Amino acid sequence: MGADRGTATTRSHSAEIEALAAQYARIPDSDEVRLAKPTSNLFRFRSPSRSPGLDVSGLNRVLSVDPDSRTADVQAMTTYEDLVDATLPYGLMPLVVPQLKTITLGGAVAGLGIEASSFRNGLPHESVREMEILTGDGRVVLARPDNEHAELFRGFPNSYGSLGYALRLVIELEPVAPYVRLRHVGFDSVADCVAALSEIWRTRSFEGSRVDFVDGTVFDAASVYLTLATFVTEAPEPSDYTGRRIYYRSIRQRTVDHLHVRDYLWRWDTDWFWCSRALGAQHPLVRPFWPRRYLRSDVYRRMIAADRRFGLSARLNRRRGRPPDEPVIQDVEIPLERLAEFLEFFRRDIGISPVWLCPVRLRDPDGWSLYPMDPRTRYVNVGFWSTVPVSPGQDGSVHNRAIERTVTELDGHKSLYSTSYYDEDEFWRLYNRPAYQRLKDHYDAYARLPGLYDKCVRGS
Q: H helices within 320-432, ranges in order? A: 339-349, 398-409, 424-430
CA distance to 74, 124, 145, 323, 405, per residue, from 171 (Å): 8, 9, 13, 47, 35
Q: Is the pLDDT of residue 44 over 70?
A: no
Residues 269-296 have a mean pLDDT of 94
* Residues 405-417 pLDDT 10s: 999 999 999 999 9
Q: Is the pLDDT of residue 28 over 90?
A: no
* Residues 293-336 pLDDT 10s: 999 999 988 888 887 777 777 777 778 777 788 999 999 999 99
- Residues 6+ positions from 287 with CB-CB distance below 8 Å: 244, 281
Residues 204-229 have a mean pLDDT of 96
Confidence band, pLDDT 50/70/90 cuts, at residue 266: very high
* pLDDT recorded at residue 176: 98
Burial of residue 387 (number of CB atoms within 10 Å: 0-12, 13-18, 19+): middle
What is the rounded (10 degree) CA torsion for 251, 253, 255, 258? -70
Helix %, strand %, coil % for the chain, to 5?
35, 25, 40
* pLDDT recorded at residue 8: 66
Q: Is the pLDDT of residue 221 over 70?
A: yes
Residues 445-458 have a mean pLDDT of 93
* Window from 27-41, 96-110, 215-229, 418-432 with minimum mean pLDDT: 27-41
* Window from 121-125, 195-199, 367-371, 388-392 with minimum mean pLDDT: 388-392
CB 196 within 8 A of CB 206: yes
Higher pLDDT, 33 or 156: 156
CA quadruple 388, 392, 395, 396: dihedral positive or negative?
positive
- Residues 6+ positions from 146 with CB-CB distance below 8 Å: none
Residues 127-150 have a mean pLDDT of 97
CA quadruple 292, 55, 458, 47: dihedral positive or negative?
negative
- Phi-psi domain of 393 (left: phi exceeds 0; alpha: psi -120 through 50; beta: other): left
Helix (H, G, I), strand (E, B) or coil at 182: strand
Q: Is the pLDDT of residue 154 over 90?
A: yes
Burial of residue 393 (number of CB atoms within 10 Å: 0-12, 13-18, 19+): exposed
Other CB atoms closer than 10 Å to residue 147's CB: what's the count? 12
Higher pLDDT, 395 or 168: 168
* Window from 18-32, 33-47, 298-312 with minimum mean pLDDT: 33-47
* pLDDT recorded at residue 41: 60
* pLDDT recorded at residue 305: 82
The Cα–Cα gap between 356 and 381 comes to 8
CB 256 within 8 A of CB 186: no
Residues 393-412 have a mean pLDDT of 95
Confidence band, pLDDT 50/70/90 cuts, at residue 232: very high
Model confidence, pTM: 0.93
| Helices 297-310, 312-319: crossing angle, 10 deg rounding | 60
In the chain, pLDDT over 70 holds for what percent of residues? 94
* pLDDT recorded at residue 39: 65
* Residues 351-370 pLDDT 10s: 999 999 999 999 999 999 99
The closest of 343, 339, 380 to 359, measured between CA atoms, is 380
Higher pLDDT, 33 or 49: 33
Q: What is the domain partition of the chain in residue ranges?
A: 3-176
The Cα–Cα gap between 228 and 209 comes to 9
Residues 174-189 have a mean pLDDT of 97
Q: Is the pLDDT of residue 43 over 60?
A: no
The Cα–Cα gap between 236 and 115 comes to 25
Residues 67-71 have a mean pLDDT of 98
Q: Is the pLDDT of residue 84 over 60?
A: yes
The Cα–Cα gap between 307 and 456 comes to 21
> Average pLDDT of the chain?
92
* pLDDT recorded at residue 31: 81
* pLDDT recorded at residue 52: 64
Q: Say yes or no: domain 3-176 is CATH 3.30.465.10.
A: yes
* 175 half-sphere exposure, CB direction, 13 A CA radius: 6
